[in-house]
Amino acid sequence: MRILVIEDEPRVSRTLVKGLEADHFAVDLAEDGEEGLQLATEIDYDAVLLDWNLPKLDGLTVLKKLRKSGSNTRVLLLSGRKEVSDRVLGLQSGADDYLVKPFSFEELLARVHALLRRPMELLDKLAVEDLELDRVRRSVTRGGKTINLTQREYSVLEYLMRNAGRAVTRTMVVEHVWNLGFEGLTNIVDVYINYLRQKVDHGYAKPLIHTARGVGYMLTGQDS
């Protein structure tokens, strides 16, 4: 899953980026409100961590403009303002949660996970036919047999399973699994699909990973 951090204080942003990456998120960093708004509008992030006091465009304005653009990305607002009226203002402006600075990284992480668990689609376990993915244990089995995946393979498979029955493009996969530091081509997705086919489909009667001609890929138990 991919997260955007919009934060101008290097000490805070370093902690956030390092900690979130250690927790297997793909993370992008914007250091002012303008850049943050641009990225958040262009890319479909799973969550945005947004500082209130930012250069160029303050966090509240970023939030309002983002919501006005139709985005329903989950936003956690970070701020040194601890008055109840400020929290209320933040939430009324479209934030999903509010965290007062200074905060412990553990609390931030717990809140990010809570935010991402909120939608129906984010269940702890995903299953397509006999293929099962456990998000809590980060484990994958097929027919009850454990499949060992690298971190990146897991992320690609998780994205495919989350969109089971729907064709996804290479760009969509890259956007959700890699961060902005990734400068390769979207055909990296083909490489990972190959790895996954070897591990998930090879040796099983029914293939689950299908090529959606002219689109990309689709994970489904239905014959295509």
* Residues making contact with Ca ion (CB under 5 A): 8, 51, 53
Nearer to Ca ion, 83 or 134 (CB): 83
Nearer to Ca ion, 77 or 168 (CB): 77
Q: Does residue 207 have a cis peptide bond before it, meaning omega lies within 30 degrees of 0?
A: no
φ, ψ of residue 115 in degrees (nearest 5)? -60, -45
Nearer to Ca ion, 41 or 53 (CB): 53
Quote the least distance from Cβ 101 to Ca ion, whole Å. Answer: 9
Nearer to Ca ion, 8 or 130 (CB): 8
Quote the least distance from Cβ 55 to Ca ion, whole Å. Answer: 8
Nearer to Ca ion, 79 or 220 (CB): 79
What residue is closest to Ca ion based on CB? 53
d(CA 132, CA 128): 7
Check if the beta carbon of residue 199 is closer than 8 Å to that of residue 210.
no
Quote the least distance from Cβ 52 to Ca ion, whole Å. Answer: 7
Quote the least distance from Cβ 9 to Ca ion, whole Å. Answer: 5
Quote the least distance from Cβ 51 to Ca ion, whole Å. Answer: 4
Quote the least distance from Cβ 19 to Ca ion, whole Å. Answer: 18
d(CA 224, CA 221): 9
DSSP summary character for residue 209 = E
DSSP 3-state percent helix, strand, coil across the chain (nearest 5): 40, 20, 40
Q: What number of CA atoms fall less than 13 Å from residue 158's CA on the CB side? A: 26
d(CA 42, CA 55): 20
Q: Which two tokens stand for residue 58?
A: 């303050």
d(CA 150, CA 119): 26
Nearer to Ca ion, 56 or 197 (CB): 56
CA of residue 112 relative to chain centroid, distance:
11
